[in-house]
Amino acid sequence: MPAPLEGIRILDFTRFQQGPYATVMLSDMGAEVIKVEEPGQGDLGRALGAEPDGFSDYFEAYNRNKRSITLNLRSEEGRAIVHKLAARVDVVVENFRPGVMDRLGIGYAALSAINPRIIVASASGAGQRGPLARKPSFDVIGQAMSGAMWAQAGGPPNEPQSIAEGFADQVGAMYLAWGVAMALIARERYGVGQHVDSSLLSGQIGFFSRSYVRSLAAGRAHYLVPGRSPLFRAYRCADDRWLALGILDPKVWPRLCRAIEREDLIEDPRFATPHDRHEHLADLYRVLRDVFASRGRDEWLQRLEAHDVACGPVRDFIEVAADPHVIENEYIVTVEHPRRGPMREPGVPVRLSRTPGRVRSTAPELGQHTEEVLRELGYSWEEIEQLRIKGVI
C-alpha cells in the first residue's frame, strides 16, 4: 500500500536545519521533495562538518529522500522555472527572511495566482509579522529569545545553557511539518490552498507550554530545574556507568526501596510521603547516590526491573544503534550511499501499520536532478544547455 503522502510534490527552498528537517519528515511519509539550491555552493549546510570526500553528516541527516536542482532565483529564467513547477506541485516550503520570496516574485501571492490550491509554508525566526519579523535568526537565537536557555539552566543565577542538536530547529521543523500536513487535510476537505507560518520562537513557546502556563499564572518566571528530583535523574554506579530512574507514581516508592535493599527508607519520616520527599530532596539524593555507587549498573538495572521500577541505562549513540530492540523496530535502518556504500541512519520515528513511511535514499549531490526535473517540465536538451551557459542552473 502507498505511503500516506505518496503523490504529494513539494518544492523545497529551505536551507540549514529547521526547514530541511521538516521536508525530510514529509518525504519519509512518501512525499516527493525537489530541493532548490543556488548554483555553485548550494545549501550552506553541505559544508557543515564536511569530511575530505565531501560527505556531511549534517546535510545527510536533514536532506535524505530528496532530489536536488540548482536555480538562480534572481534570474528571469530561474523564476520562470519556479512558476512552471508551482503549477505542478502541492506544497512550497521556504525559510528565507520574511519578504524575500515576495521580492523574488515567488511568494504566496504570486504562486497561488498560478495554482490556487498550492500550500506555501514559511519557516522563520520569529514569524511573518511584527517588529522582529525580519531579524536574522538561528537555532541558538530561538532558544535565547524564547526562554529555552534559561529553562535548560534552571533559571538565574545559573549561566544560560543551549540544548544540543539544534533543539529549536528540530522542534520548529516538527511544527512546520505538522502545519503542512494540516493544510493538506484542509485542502482535501475544503478545496483551498493557504499559507502556513511557523517559527523558531513560536515552536519554543509551544514546547515549553507548561512553564509558560505556570509562570503566567504566578506572575513570575518559573523554571523546572533539570535533575532536581532524586527520583527522576541519572546516577553513577560502581563500574563508572550510569543508570536513570523515572518515578512519578507514589506507589512505586516502596518498590524502589525494596529493590535497593533499603526498606528502612519506606517509613523514614524524611521520605514517608511525596511531600516529605520533596522537602528533603538533598537528603534523598545523597542516600540514592551512595546506594547506586555501591554496585555495578547492570546489577542495579536487573534488581530495579525485577521490582517493576522504571529505569534504564544511560547510553551513547553507538550503544543505542547496536540494541536489538532498536534494530527490530527499525529505529535505525541501512540505506545505500552512492560513494560510501551501506550506511546506517535513523529510520522513520512514527510507524503507520497500513501506510508506513520509509527512508528511500540518501541526500542528493548538488544539482543531481536538475536536468531530470527540467526534462519533466518539457525543456529540451538545447534549452537546458542555454540555461547552463547563462548561469541559471
Q: Nearest 5°: CA angle at 242, between 58 and 227?
A: 80
Residues 364 and 335 sit within 8 Å (Cβ to Cβ): no
Paired sense of beta strands 91-94 and 119-124, if any: parallel
pLDDT at 45: 95
Q: Nearest 5°: CA angle at 77, between 75 and 80?
A: 115
DSSP 362: -
Q: Nearest 5°: CA angle at 198, between 195 and 202?
A: 145
Q: Which candidate in 12, 28, 90, 169 is catalytic?
A: 169
Cα–Cα distance between 278 and 282 in angstroms, integer?
9
DSSP 334: E
Per-residue pLDDT at 327 exceeds 80: yes
What does the pLDDT look like over 169-206, one tens digit per residue? 999 999 999 999 999 999 999 999 999 999 999 999 99
Cα–Cα distance between 125 and 139 in angstroms, integer?
8
Give the other-Cβ count within 10 Å of 262's Cβ: 15
CB neighbour list of residue 289: distance below 8 Å, 6 or more residues apart: 235, 236
Task: Tell me whether the omega of the peptide bond preceding residue 157 falls within 30 degrees of 0, making it cis.
Answer: yes
Cα–Cα distance between 269 and 276 in angstroms, integer?
7
In what side-by-side order are the strands of the sheet with 119-124? Answer: 66-70, 32-37, 9-12, 91-94, 119-124, 194-199
pLDDT at 138: 95
For residue 264, indicate whether it is catalytic.
Answer: no
pLDDT at 224: 81
What does the pLDDT look like over 52-109, one tens digit per residue? 999 999 999 999 999 999 999 999 999 999 999 999 999 999 999 999 999 999 999 9
Per-residue pLDDT at 228 exceeds 90: no
DSSP 335-352: EEETTTEEEEEE--SS--
Q: What average pLDDT does the chain have?
A: 96
pLDDT at 1: 85
Domains of the chain: 9-211+329-389 (3.40.50.10540), 234-318 (3.30.1540.10)
Percent of the chain with pLDDT over 90: 97
Residues 91 and 10 sit within 8 Å (Cβ to Cβ): yes
pLDDT at 225: 74
